Structure 1
Amino acid sequence: MYNSDTPLRAELPSSKQLLRSTLLAAVAALVLLIVVVLPAEYGIDPTGAGRALRLTEMGDIKQLLAAEAAADAAASAPGELTTLNGAAGMATANAAEVPVRAAVAAAPEATAQAGSPESGWRDEMPLILKPGEGTEIKLKMAQGAKAQYAWVVEGGEVNFDTHGDAPGKSISYEKGRGVSADEGVLEAAFTGNHGWYWRNRGKSNVKLLLRTRGDYTEIKKMM
């Protein structure tokens, strides 16, 4: 009546073997969480392996996109706030931005110099962004190093995030929405990659030109 034999008790795994298998599976899942999931989804890389596998960049971009989407949703959400609440919210936001914005100092003559041949810019990076497209450029900098920059958009505006990252570290210096140009001096808070992420939220292509000079060893387009 039966096509298979009932296994003998000796052939069945013991409780010790089952416990060992369960522990091994749990350890493997924890390793995958730390090495793969956290860097790829949240930009958190406690071991540095995610950076080596280029997973942390993916996580950083996902977090930037999530923050940008939340900002767009908040800007378009209907609602009425009183003048008192609006003033309090602006005061809180301004107070929160002071520490990181201090690292991006103004360079008043950067825009005027950007267009002149004798300005002495070290690198120029032209970019074309299609509607909905984003891209990122990073400078490799040592802690305390300074790089002067100026970027301008033709044909529209972009959302941007000036930020830095290194194994186990990340910082956002400045963010903006609907911006056509920016300039300043970027001072690295720690040794690592520091630069910009731009996204075109408009309905037509835009051209972006980034000019940089200063204390960095490498400039590269991340995506």
Structure 2
Amino acid sequence: MFNSELPSQAQLPSSLQLLRSTLLAMIAAAAILVTVVLPAEYGIDPTGIGWKLNLTQMGIIKVQLAEEAAADRAKQTIDSAPPAVQALAESPAAPVTVAPATPVAAAIEPLPITELPEKKRDSLRLILGPGEPAEIKLEMKQGDTVKFRWSANGGSLNYNTHADRTKGSSHTYEKGRFQPGQQGSLTAVFDGQHGWFWRNRTDKAVTLTLEVEGDFLAMKRVI
């Protein structure tokens, strides 16, 4: 049998040392929670560190995917419900819009925007396969306004028009499911990144076309 000597009273940590170690561990855990866990899991970034590490963007996408999955489950539940319940669930609700919008035709026509030298204009076209996402952001200052139009060109897309502050919170302007397109205007509620997240929930490829014109510094594809 192996016998080891018990540590003496002097070798054991004191109550003050234990308290100090506990406080340090709590501070480290809180720092990890604020700078890593909240941005990566929920898109909440009070310090701005998560945005620099690309964790906040990942958290926003996770939240959006969870919302889409919940909506899909709710739709499946409604589809399997009795006809009376389906009729009640499908009753139209008051729409929430960014600005007065009109349906977008399949053909892309010139935007009815007055040509002004100080305004910027940009456009892009992407092909999204089944289940594929895309996110486009405009760098804008608070109060800046852009006119926009996007089209799924014969298909439909789920979308989330939102903004991310350079440091901290985010803001949702509007959401929609299985939409052929949209046009209207967007006014920045704060300095930061403003734009759209789309996902193709159909079983075929969709060509996404986006056109913007107005007060913005740059346009970039995030996803």
- TM-score (structure 1 length as normaliser): 0.84
Q: Distance in 2 between matches of 1:117 and 1:159?
A: 23
Contact 1:143-1:190 within 8 A present in 2 as well: yes
Shift of 1:30: 0.5
Tell me the number of residue pairs that the alignment of Structure 1 and Structure 2 aligns.
Answer: 214
Aligned to 1:127: 126
Structure 1 residues 128, 37: CA separation in 2 closer, same or farther (over 3 Å shift)? same
Query: Which letter does structure 2 place at the counterpart of 1:141?
Result: M
Counterpart check, 1:115 vs 2:115 = no
Deviation at 1:136, TM superposition (A): 0.6
**Which segment is superposed worse, 192-201 or 172-181?**
172-181
Long gaps (5+) in structure 1: none
Aligned to 1:179: 179
1:147 corresponds in structure 2 to: 146
Corresponding residue SS for 2:196: strand
Matches within 5 A, 1:52-201: 52-77=52-77, 78-80=80-82, 86=89, 90-91=92-93, 94=94, 98=96, 101=97, 103-106=98-101, 114-116=108-110, 122-154=121-153, 156-166=155-165, 167-201=167-201
Listed one character per residue, the Cα deviations across residues 121-145 of structure 1 (whole Å, up to 9, x for unaligned) are 8211221212111111011111111
Residue 44 (structure 1) shift: 0.9
Residue in structure 2 matched with residue 51 of structure 1 by the alignment: 51
- Give yes or no for contact 1:155–1:205 (8 Å, CA) kept in 2: no
Paired-residue identity, %: 48
**Using the alignment, how far apart are the partners of 2:146 and 2:111 within structure 1?**
19
Distance 1:204 1:26 in 2: 50
Q: Is the 8 A contact 1:104 1:187 kept in 2?
A: no
**CA RMSD in angstroms, aligned pairs only:** 2.8
| Structure 1 residues 111 and 142: alpha-carbon distance in aligned structure 2, compared to 1, 3 A threshold | farther
Q: Please, which moves more after superposition, 212-221 or 200-209?
A: 200-209
Residues 22/192 of structure 1: CA separation in 2 closer, same or farther (3 Å cut) = same
Q: Secondary structure at the match of 2:28?
A: helix
Quick check: 1:104–1:173 contact (8 Å CA) kept in 2? no
CA contact (8 A) 1:48 1:168 kept: yes
- Cα distance change of structure 1 residues 132 and 141 upon mapping to structure 2, 3 Å threshold: same
Report the AA paired with residue 136 of structure 1: E
Equivalent position SS for 2:20: helix
Query: Is 1:208 aligned with 2:208?
Result: yes
Query: Structure 2: any 5+ residue segments left out of the alignment?
Result: none
